[in-house]
Amino acid sequence: MRVDYDSLAKTVASLTEGEEDRVALMATVACEVHHSDDRFDWTGFYRVVAPELLKIGPYQGGHGCLVIPFSRGVCGAAARTRRVQLVADVDAFPGHIACASSTKSEIVLPVFDQNGDVIAVFDIDSNQPDAFTQADSDALEKLLMDVFKS
């Protein structure tokens, strides 16, 4: 099954309309995205809880790392650089943190609030190599913007 981003965006919008609690929003997005595509093995948020520090938030899938500094891994790179990290082979990513040995590829997107501050990163892992495309990145960036900047 491959995600239909238009349908996913409509579903998420209807489920989150009027909600302002960030954790509730993150839980809903993680659940809906996770179940939308067979490529998505682990789907969740790492929240900015202190300067240069991420802590696990709502997610779907097996356990994740509890704490990730901005200086480490793919999630840290997305938070630090404020840019999407599209990683075809996690073993080739310098400093990759292996929260799950099954992860082969990953996409991590920074999540911004209405002030342009990074409040979290949205992490999707796949047990397939090179599972994510620029089209995934573009659609997920728009979805996150619609949910967290409105």
Higher pLDDT, 63 or 33: 33
Interval 106-136: pLDDT, tens? 999 999 999 999 999 999 999 999 999 999 9
CA dist 85 and 19 (Å) reads: 28
- Of the two residues 46 and 98, the one the predictor is more confident about is 46
Instruction: Identify the CATH number of the domain defined by range 5-148.
Output: 3.30.450.40
Task: Please give the pLDDT value at position 150.
Answer: 61
- With a threshold of 0.85, does the pTM exceed it? yes
With a pLDDT cut of 90, the percent of the chain lying above it is: 89
What's residue 102's pLDDT? 85
Contact 94, 115 (CB under 8 A): no
* Residues 63-70: contacts with CB under 8 Å, at least 24 apart: 63/99, 63/100, 64/99, 64/100, 64/123, 65/97, 65/99, 68/97
Tell me what the mean pLDDT of segment 37-55 comes to.
97
